[in-house]
């Protein structure tokens, strides 16, 4: 149960569905909810586990990924402030095990809703139903994009787009990221990423140092798309 008024206000500010004029739903929500704090790189959920709670992030970042038999990772999506996990929501609705791995990527704070309540509210409160279905619809489109990228787009083109997007979101041409992290996000091997980055560097598009990549010429890099 969450009773602190300031904490309740923070949570309502994060999640639009709580701003609806439905005092009954709000009462049930905060009676069932609890708050958890996790630090990097704590595990959130392993593949095959039962989903006992749905986590709604107040702050921080979680990463959801698949791990292949060869040990290679592919990032499906990340979850940030005001968001939740599509796969957990889907598992709760369908009573199926979690099909991926979720880890804390940046120290996070989240609201936990027990599975029984999350299921019960689907038939009782339209705001909750719309939130979960909207979440699934939005994230499903992202996952389809990931599959299309892997299947149909060259890795060097995907890497160029990845670097430009990271620079734009960071507001800086200096990107703090390792070759392995990029490989995991793009679903390829570290060796492939290192080879392409070396080619980019030889063409003076980037400058690569340990744990950091500086974009030197975004125009030429954009031509790779």
Residue 58 DSSP symbol = E
Mean predicted lDDT score pLDDT of the chain: 90
Q: What is the pLDDT of residues 146-185, one digit of tens each?
A: 888 888 889 999 999 999 998 988 888 999 999 999 998 8
* CA neighbor of 81 nearest in space, from 101, 100, 105, 99: 105
Q: What percent of the chain has pLDDT over 90?
A: 59
Are the C-beta atoms of 155 and 189 separated by less than 8 Å? Answer: no
Q: What is the pLDDT of residues 185-224, one digit of tens each?
A: 898 888 999 999 999 999 999 998 888 999 998 888 888 7
Residue 21, pLDDT above cutoff 80: no
According to the model, what pLDDT value does residue 115 have? 95
- Secondary structure E strands in 47-89: 53-67, 73-79
According to the model, what pLDDT value does residue 177 have? 92
Q: What is the pLDDT of residues 69-128, one digit of tens each?
A: 788 888 899 999 999 998 999 899 889 999 999 999 999 999 999 999 999 999 999 999
Pairing of strands 206-209, 53-67: unpaired
Q: What is the pLDDT of residues 32-74, one digit of tens each?
A: 999 999 998 899 999 999 999 999 999 999 999 998 878 888 8
**What distance in Å separates the CA atoms of residue 91 and residue 85, rounded to the nearest whole number?**
10
Tokens standing for 195?
């080879």
Residue 133, pLDDT above cutoff 80: yes
Are the C-beta atoms of 199 and 205 separated by less than 8 Å? Answer: no
Domains, in order of start, for the chain:
5-151 (2.60.120.10), 153-222 (1.10.10.10)
According to the model, what pLDDT value does residue 8 have? 92
Are the C-beta atoms of 70 and 64 separated by less than 8 Å? Answer: no
Long-range contacts of residues 139-148, Cβ cutoff 8 Å, at least 24 apart: 139/77, 139/86, 140/86, 142/76, 142/77, 143/76, 143/77, 143/86, 146/74, 146/75, 146/76, 146/77, 146/187
- Sign of the CA dihedral 120, 124, 128, 130? positive
Are the C-beta atoms of 138 and 91 separated by less than 8 Å? Answer: no
Q: What percent of the chain has pLDDT over 70?
A: 100
């Amino acid at each position: 149960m969450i009773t602190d008024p300031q904490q309740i206000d923070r949570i309502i500010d994060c999640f639009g569905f709580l701003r609806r004029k439905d005092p009954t739903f709000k009462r049930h929500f905060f009676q069932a909810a609890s708050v958890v704090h996790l630090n990097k790189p704590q595990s959130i959920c392993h593949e095959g586990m039962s989903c006992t709670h749905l986590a709604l992030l107040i702050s921080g970042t979680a990463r959801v990924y698949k791990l292949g038999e060869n040990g290679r990772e592919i990032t499906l999506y990340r979850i940030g402030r005001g968001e939740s996990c599509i796969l957990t929501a889907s598992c709760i609705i369908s009573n199926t095990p979690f099909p991926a791995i979720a880890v804390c990527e940046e120290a996070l704070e989240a609201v936990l809703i027990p599975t029984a309540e999350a299921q019960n509210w689907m038939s009782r409160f339209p705001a909750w139903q719309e939130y979960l279905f909207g979440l699934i619809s939005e994230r499903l489109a992202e996952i389809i994009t990931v599959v299309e990228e892997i299947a149909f787009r060259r890795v060097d083109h995907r890497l160029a787009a990845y670097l430009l997007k990271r620079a734009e979101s960071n507001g800086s041409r200096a990107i703090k990221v390792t070759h392995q992290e990029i490989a995991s996000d793009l679903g390829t091997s570290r060796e492939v990423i290192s080879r392409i980055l070396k080619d980019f560097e030889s063409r003076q598009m980037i400058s690569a140092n340990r744990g950091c990549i500086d974009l030197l010429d975004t125009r030429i890099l954009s031509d790779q798309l």
